[in-house]
Homo-oligomer: A and B are copies of this chain.
Amino acid sequence: MDIGKKLQSVRKQRGLSQRELASRAGLTNGTISLIEKNKTSPSIASLKSLLDAIPMSMSEFFSSFDDENTPKYFFTASEFTEIAPQVSGDSPGASAQVSLRQIGGSSHHALLMLYETYPPESDTGVELLSHEAEEAGVVISGSIEITVSDQVRVLSAGDGYIFDSRLPHRFRNTGQQECVIVSASTPPTF
């Protein structure tokens, strides 16, 4: 809720200076400066005075923030946000071509869902998380060699996996074609 930015926006839309608006609203230019820089949280009374002078209703002012708290449930593929594979320091074979794209990129959820692309020859290296978490996935296309603890397995399209993230694990595309995996882990890195 960037009140300051929004106020400045509507003020300038009307071509008013801080002093002009202040005069009409019965406040001072300094106050408006502080509000617009979010250095103070105006009282309802003050904000109402300002909006009356513009004029704009309170609900109209705040309506622009409505989608801000509204959870976003759906994402197109292009809206997935690329996240960096967490390099585990001394992983020798780690090739950086692995693509991890998060579904619902921004806000913090209790679930981290990824669209992962493994080119041929790609390798995450050995990963392990220190905190409790569980990780699962389904292979969409291609095939991948997954190592968890002391087990190794090659999964193909349609296969799935699930394991405790604290166990050392590694993903390697040993095939000739790209492998796509959709994975989920809970909770994500907090």
Contacts and interface: CB of A to CB of B under 8 A. Distances in A.
Contacts of A66: 57, 59
A23 to B, nearest CB: 20
Copies of this chain, tallied across the complex: 2
B63 A59 contact: yes
Contacts of A62: 57-59, 61-62
A154 to B, nearest CB: 47
Contacts of A65: 57-59
A67 to B, nearest CB: 10
A43 interface: yes
Contacts of A69: 52, 57
A126 to B, nearest CB: 39
Contacts of A43: 41-44
A1 interface: yes
26 contacts: A1-B44, A1-B48, A1-B58, A41-B43, A41-B45, A41-B46, A42-B44, A43-B43, A43-B44, A44-B44, A44-B47, A52-B69, A57-B62, A57-B65, A57-B66, A57-B69, A58-B58, A58-B62, A58-B65, A59-B60, A59-B62, A59-B63, A59-B65, A59-B66, A61-B62, A62-B62
